[in-house]
Structure 1
């Protein structure tokens, strides 16, 4: 059964820098050997995440790249896609966009902003995933 996991930003370090939570989720996926596609909201966010992944864990390199930048992108365990990039779906998606992702995937991770006013679109996506038969769960981070 496909899964949708919603991660609610709660800890101060994630409130200050929400992309750190994305790095943490990508690190867990990499450790579990799950090829991951991160759907960035825009190219600026994709580049910020790319920069952060370089320095996120001083003890472990997280192999990643931005889609469309290199021919070897299929090799990268963590692929970051801006909206105009043509990136194939992977078993695990981390969605940072306002719309639910299309395509086939086994699991999607949604990062929920700390600001309750910004959570409206995520409530809609929660219902959307439920209507598709996803197993939906919530985690406080």
Structure 2
């Protein structure tokens, strides 16, 4: 069963996603990032400019050929079901990702924005109602310690 984790109170969704992806790629994990198309385009730009000293190899599922998809440690996809990786799925979007259950881990990234938090509560309920154990990581609590 997919391990579900919510990362709450993220001050900068794209910056946090870049740090999360750097950590995952550094550990050898294969990651799919999903969300709305405009958010994925912004993340693509952020991944190119995130660090002057390192590059996070990534591709778009919609435009990459099968060999590039298989070799890329980070795949940006509005439809994660159609990707070759099944290890980690990072959801930056507002909806429950289609096909999330085929991944070992799902990470939901939630900002401090009220609308984003409300949509996250709906996703939390969706997972909980289906029996998924959910881990909660509150970044605001970590800042205070």
Q: TM-score range by the shorter chain?
A: 0.7 to 0.9
- Alignment partners' CA distance in 1, 2:126 and 2:85: 19
Map of 1:28-67 to 2, 5 A cutoff? 28-42=23-37, 44-67=38-61
What TM-score do you get using the length of structure 2 for normalisation?
Answer: 0.80
Count of aligned residue pairs for this structure pair: 135
Map of 1:128-139 to 2, 5 A cutoff? 128-139=126-137
The unaligned stretches of length 5 or more in structure 2 are 140-145
Is contact 1:100-1:125 (8 Å) kept?
yes
- Alignment partners' CA distance in 2, 1:84 and 1:129: 17
Is contact 2:30-2:88 (8 Å) kept?
yes
Match of 1:121 among 119, 122, 137: 119
30-39 vs 76-85, which moves further: 76-85
Any runs of at least 4 consecutive aligned residues in structure 1 with deviations exceeding 6 A, and if so which?
none
Is contact 1:93-1:105 (8 Å) kept?
yes
What is the CA-CA distance between 1:84 and the residue it aligns to? 9.7
SS at 2:41's partner residue?
helix
Alignment RMSD, CA only?
2.2
Is contact 1:5-1:138 (8 Å) kept?
yes
What is the CA-CA distance between 1:60 and the residue it aligns to? 2.3
> Counting helix residues as a fraction of each chain, which structure ranks higher?
2
What TM-score do you get using the length of structure 1 for normalisation?
Answer: 0.82
